[in-house]
Amino acid sequence: MQKVKQSLSHAGPMTEVEAKDLLRRVGFNVVETRLARSSKEAAAMGRELGFPVALKVVSLQVVHKSNVGGVRLNLAGAHETAQAYEEILAAVKARLPEAEVQGMAVQRMAPPGVEVVMGGFRDASFGPVLMFGLGGLWVEVLQDVAFRLVPLEARDARDMVREIRGYPLLEGYRGQPGVDIPFMEEMILLLSRFMEDNPEVREVDLNPVIAYPEQALVVDARVVMR
């Protein structure tokens, strides 16, 4: 696996675009995300990627993007995208005047699927740990997540996915198709190797990952370096 160190030297969080770029290079299936530095560029990128798109503010000072009006979803065309760019910029400037805005991340809206989260962090006593759960309310309200220590073996990834209470949602219910569970297990094992091979990564969050009957896509990601 490619080492992270070569691609980034500064400590602290990476931007979303940097984080996703890195994760794609180590083998994750990541939604293509580009950095637009102007509303015009955003609109052009939208055309290339295909509408509808999502726009998210890129700034190291903004931790919770949606709390400062930094996220707009389902933008259907070039004009709407360009307008959203300016509106996000204004909203962020109004709430966080000090924030240095690099631009906006432009990505194609991912088709709907089952949202899951995966993450890695380092515990003072246990060392590197992985987390897996269902996304959205499941993780926030019910804390329906499973943990395993890195390095994981195939059976650990298997057990981890089956341990969460929401597992039936992944299997498919009421006629809904299930998701590609073996693919997610592979992603978990890849994340385990990523944490193992890159001790300078303090924390990584793939949230959300949208899971489909075939494969799954990392839609947003965060990487924090030591």
Partner 1 sequence: MQRVGHRLERVFNPRTVAVIGSKAANNHMWLRNVLTFQGKVYSVQIDEGESPGIAALGVENYSSLLDIPGPVDYVIVAVPRAVTPKVVKDCIAKGVGGVTLFTSGFAETGTEEGMRLQEEVRQLAQEWGLNLIGPNCMGIFNPSIGLRHNQEQYCGPGGCVGFISQSGTHAAFFSLMGARHGVKVSKSVSYGNAVVLDSPDYVEYLAQDEETRIIAMYIEGAKEGRRLFECLKAVTPRKPVVIWKGGQTEAGARAAASHTASLAQPYRLWQAMVRQAGAIPVESLEETIDVVRALLYIKHGTGRRVGLMAHTGGPSVVITDDFARADLEVPALTQESYDKLASFFNVIGGSYRNPLDMGSTLGMDANLDGLLRVLGQLLDIMGEDANVDVVTMELAVPFMARRWQREPETMARILDTMAYYRDRSPKPFMAVVRPLHMEEMAQQAEAGLVEREIAVFPSFQRAAVALRKMVDYYSFHRQD
Q: How far is the CB of 62 from partner 1 (least distance, A)?
A: 28
Taking the CB of residue 140, how many other CB atoms lie within 10 A of it?
A: 11
Instruction: Output 63 or 149, the one with its CB closest to partner 1.
Output: 149
Residue burial 109-129, b: 16+ Cβ < 10 Å; e: rest? bbeebbbbbbbbbeeeeeebb
User: x/- binding map, residues 72-111, to partner 1, per CB under 8 A?
Assistant: ----------------------------------------
* CA distance linking residue 105 with residue 186, whole number of Å: 27
Burial class (CB in 10 A: 0-12, 13-18, 19+), 142: middle
Instruction: Output 159 or 197, the one with its CB closest to partner 1.
Output: 159
Total of residues contacting partner 1 (CB under 8 A): 11
Q: How far is the CB of 160 from partner 1 (least distance, A)?
A: 8
Q: Which of 103, 89, 106 is nearest to 51 (CA)?
A: 106
Which one of residues 16, 115, 156, 180 is an interface residue with partner 1 (CB under 8 A)?
156
> Stretches 51-59, 75-83, 146-154, 168-176: which one binds partner 1 (CB under 8 A)?
146-154
Contact 28, 215 (CB under 8 A): no
- For residue 140, state whether it binds partner 1 (rule: CB under 8 A): no
Alpha helices, H only, the chain: 16-25, 39-49, 78-95, 137-140, 154-163, 167-171, 181-197
- For residue 63, state whether it binds partner 1 (rule: CB under 8 A): no
- For residue 21, state whether it binds partner 1 (rule: CB under 8 A): no
Which one of residues 42, 54, 114, 146 is an interface residue with partner 1 (CB under 8 A)?
146
Q: How far is the CB of 20 from partner 1 (least distance, A)?
A: 28
Q: How far is the CB of 226 from partner 1 (least distance, A)?
A: 17
Q: Residues near 136 by Cβ (< 8 Å), separated by ≥ 6? A: 115, 208
- For residue 126, state whether it binds partner 1 (rule: CB under 8 A): yes
The residue with tokens 């590197």 is: 128
Instruction: Output 91 or 129, the one with its CB closest to partner 1.
Output: 129
Q: Residues near 5 by Cβ (< 8 Å), separated by ≥ 6? A: 198, 200
Which residues contact partner 1 by CB under 8 A?
A: 123, 125-127, 129, 146-149, 156, 159
